[in-house]
Amino acid sequence: MKYLNKDKQIYKILQNELQRQKQGLEMIASENYTSPAVLEAMSTVLTNKYSEGYPGKRYYSGNQFIDEIESLAIERAKKLFGAEHANVQPHSGTQANMAVYLALLNPGDKILAMNLAHGGHLSHGAPVSFSGKFYKNAFYGVDKKTEQLDYKEILEIAQREAPKIIIAGATAYPRQIDFKKFREIADSVKAYLMVDMAHFAGLVAAKLHPDPIPFADVVTSTTHKTLAGPRGGFILCKNFLAEKIDKAVFPGIQGGPLENTIAAKAVCFGEALKPAFKKYQEQVLTNAKVLAQTLINNGLELVSGGTDTHLVLLKLNNLGIGGQQAEEILSKVDIYTNKNLIPFDTKKAFDPSGLRLGTPALTTRGMKEKEMKTIGNIIAELLKNTKDIKIQEKAKKQIAILVKQFPIYKEIKY
Ligand code: DSN
């Protein structure tokens, strides 16, 4: 860093953060490590350019190369997911969702989505979010016994609530979602079907998760979770909604797109189109299953009893600790996770009864089944013995050795 190191304050913090990422086990299910090519794309001169509008139709001159970049990102996204139309401008997943509501709903229309405590997302109609303030909301959850979606119940709720849009997709649901069933439910109440695939987009791209594209009117996503791209969002839709969606993103809710990030999205889609990406996603799934089984073997309880995605949701009730304490203990030994509500949680979001763990970032480091078993055993031991400092010291040492065997960003020198 020839220039940034002149800003000593920022440079020092950046070095610390790189070090933290290198020496920690990143198990937050929504995080990942981008490729160096994605990082490079983000720090390019593309950030200098204003390009309000869309390729071939801009409000500023000098966009001939920006148009090429954005068109490539659009084409690659369409190819990767087999979509009719793609908008790659949303700055985030929430902005992608916001644009869909602006395009398809009027203020006061009803959104039916998954309950936040059962794995939904804030931008799916939660009262504290714009989506719950500008629109009416109704929620479905999981079955109390199976802790999995009960499509019969979702149909009943949809018929009772008559929503204008139904959202399928979640942030903390460890099971696959049946989009065909959601389509049938949406059709029966004449609602739009939106799928927010932010968490499992990488699995969809690798054809290891049911594909929402044939069933949903609109699909929203982020690029930085299982897709391992830059922090950002995108929208896929059928052609008949393309104009509405594009207008909703710009000028509806955003101004100038972040073309450096869009270039990085194009790089990410390009990487996901390569055969190695499928192998990577297969390993993400295998790793999650092994991690889940290891935790179960240690007597820990998981929401829905396991996983068929990239994440597991640990129930802490029987351990006598809350999510906040669990998160803190693990982060003390350099394991990063996040506290999470679990279905029918009696506690609050700041100290809920669950802990969410994911395998995308560990898999990007090259870790496999053997490491998942080691890590699962370490986590279980730490959570069952929260006061034992010796166990924590031992775990920290084990992790320091493990991360050295699976280095990241070797070529990056800050
Ligand atoms: N905040 C993200 C997550 O961690 O799942 C969802 O947007």
DSSP strand pairing (335-336 vs 233-237) = unpaired
pLDDT of residue 82: 98
* Dihedral-angle region of residue 284 (phi above 0 means left; psi in -120 to 50 means alpha; beta otherwise): alpha
Phi, psi of 194 (to 5 degrees): -115, 135
Amino acid at 143: D
What are the pLDDT digits (tens) for 273-301? 999 999 999 999 999 999 999 999 999 99
Which is the closest atom of ligand 1 to the Cα of 199? Answer: 5
pLDDT of residue 391: 98
pLDDT-based confidence at 413, cuts 50/70/90?
Answer: confident
pLDDT-based confidence at 1, cuts 50/70/90?
Answer: confident
Q: Answer yes or no: is the C-beta of 171 below 6 A from any ligand 1 atom.
A: yes
pLDDT > 70: what percent of the chain? 100
Give the closest residue to 259 by CA, choosing from 85, 44, 96, 60: 44
Which is the closest atom of ligand 1 to the Cα of 172? Answer: 5
SS3 355: strand
User: What residue owns the CA closest to ligand 1's atom 3?
Assistant: 30
What are the pLDDT digits (tens) for 323-375? 999 999 999 999 999 999 999 999 999 999 999 999 999 999 999 999 999 99
What are the pLDDT digits (tens) for 60-79? 999 999 999 999 999 999 99
Cα 340 to middle of ligand 1, angstroms = 11
Which is the closest atom of ligand 1 to the Cα of 93? Answer: 7
What are the pLDDT digits (tens) for 30-65? 999 999 999 999 999 999 999 999 999 999 999 999
**CB of 98 closer than 8 Å to CB of 165:** no
Predicted TM-score (pTM) of the model is: 0.97
Task: Name all domains of the chain by residue range, CATH numbers in brackets.
Answer: 4-30+275-405 (3.90.1150.10), 39-272 (3.40.640.10)
**CB of 114 closer than 8 Å to CB of 163:** no
**CB of 31 closer than 8 Å to CB of 311:** no
365 is catalytic: no
Q: Answer yes or no: is the C-beta of 30 below 6 A from any ligand 1 atom.
A: yes
What does pLDDT average to over the chain? 97
- Burial classification of residue 411, based on how many CB atoms lie within 10 Å of its CB (0-12 exposed, 13-18 middle, 19 or more buried): exposed
Q: Maximum Cα–Cα distance for the chain, whole Å?
A: 64
184 is catalytic: no
Cα 277 to middle of ligand 1, angstroms = 22
As a dihedral over the C-alpha atoms of residue 133, residue 147, residue 94, residue 31, rounded to 10 degrees, the angle is: 150
pLDDT-based confidence at 264, cuts 50/70/90?
Answer: very high
Cα 201 to middle of ligand 1, angstroms = 13
The rounded distance, in Å, linking the Cα atoms of 74 and 263 is: 10
Write down the catalytic residue from 31, 147, 161, 196: 196
Average pLDDT over residues 242-271: 98
pLDDT at 414 over 90: no
Q: Answer yes or no: is the C-beta of 315 below 6 A from any ligand 1 atom.
A: no
Q: Answer yes or no: is the C-beta of 121 below 6 A from any ligand 1 atom.
A: yes
Q: Answer yes or no: is the C-beta of 32 below 6 A from any ligand 1 atom.
A: no
Q: How many CA atoms lie within 13 A of 136 on its CB side?
A: 9
What are the pLDDT digits (tens) for 147-173? 999 999 999 999 999 999 999 999 999
pLDDT at 197 over 90: yes
Q: Answer yes or no: is the C-beta of 97 below 6 A from any ligand 1 atom.
A: no
pLDDT of residue 119: 93
Give the N- to C-terminal CA distance of the chain in Å, as an integer.
Answer: 6
SS3 370: helix
Query: Token pair of 60, please?
Result: 């500023």
pLDDT of residue 257: 98
231 is catalytic: yes
